[in-house]
Amino acid sequence: MKKAILILAVTLLASVSLGLAVARAEGETPTSTPLPLPTATPTPAPNDLEWTPDQIQAAGGPRVAIDQQIESLLPVLIEKQNAYKQGGNGRYFQGKSTHSFAPKNANTYPDRWFDHPTDQASSWKHFGAFGYQAQLFAIRIDTVDGPNGQGWVACFRAEIDGIEQERCDGYGEGAALEHGWQITAGVEVQP
């Protein structure tokens, strides 16, 4: 019985493959799209944070490139945060710093990609705002509970032209913690 099922499966697979090959040879477009093969590494999100040195220079330098990346990432973070809270978590995602150090004018892979707070099972990998890729900055998300409800603040940290700096963008109750680029040299990166 098992042998007959295996032969039937192989025959069916071969006939589908042959049909697709014939359709392609005759210039037709197959009606079904093959499923992508699973990969061992996380698939990058639509916003690509890994830039080449030429892209950084074309943007106007590291600070401008980082700001452009942050501006493209913020709408994704807002969408993911809202989905996370409404998805049964009852609160916003809290992300520990993706890096244990501030990246220095270069793409650097996060060394804390799988870290998560003790009271939350989700890490950056599970949150899914962007794929595992080299970044020009470290990012962390702090959550806020205040008298008017909940909020969060995303803080971006990088060493730009030899000076360690941080920028924070806040939402909801976290808006009060928002600030532009500030020098943070000597201040320990929060784990």
Which candidate, 98, 74, 99, places its Cα nearest to that of 152?
Answer: 74
pLDDT for the residue 162: 83
- Tell me the residue range of the domain where 14 lies: 1-35
Average pLDDT over residues 89-113: 89
- Whether the pLDDT of residue 6 is over 50: the answer is no
Residue 46 lies in a domain: no
Same domain, 28 and 80: no
Question: Is residue 191 within 8 Å of residue 97, measured between CB atoms?
Answer: yes
Higher per-residue pLDDT: 128 or 10: 128
pLDDT for the residue 188: 55
How confident is the model over 70-98, as pLDDT tens digits?
Answer: 998 999 999 999 999 999 899 999 999 99
Same domain, 23 and 90: no
Same domain, 62 and 15: no
Same domain, 28 and 69: no
Question: Is residue 112 within 8 Å of residue 96, measured between CB atoms?
Answer: yes
pLDDT for the residue 23: 38
Share of the chain above pLDDT 90, in %: 40
- Bridge partner residues of 157 (DSSP): 138, 166
pLDDT for the residue 140: 96
Question: Is residue 107 within 8 Å of residue 50, measured between CB atoms?
Answer: yes
Question: Is residue 90 within 8 Å of residue 38, measured between CB atoms?
Answer: no
How confident is the model over 58-77, as pLDDT tens digits?
Answer: 777 788 888 988 998 999 99
Residue 155 lies in a domain: yes
Same domain, 27 and 101: no
How confident is the model over 114-150, as pLDDT tens digits?
Answer: 999 999 999 999 898 887 788 889 999 999 998 889 9
Q: Count how many domains the chain has.
A: 2
Residue 48 lies in a domain: no
Average pLDDT over residues 11-33: 38
20: tokens are 């697709």
pLDDT for the residue 108: 85
Which candidate, 110, 98, 78, 102, places its Cα nearest to that of 139?
Answer: 98
- pTM across the whole model: 0.69
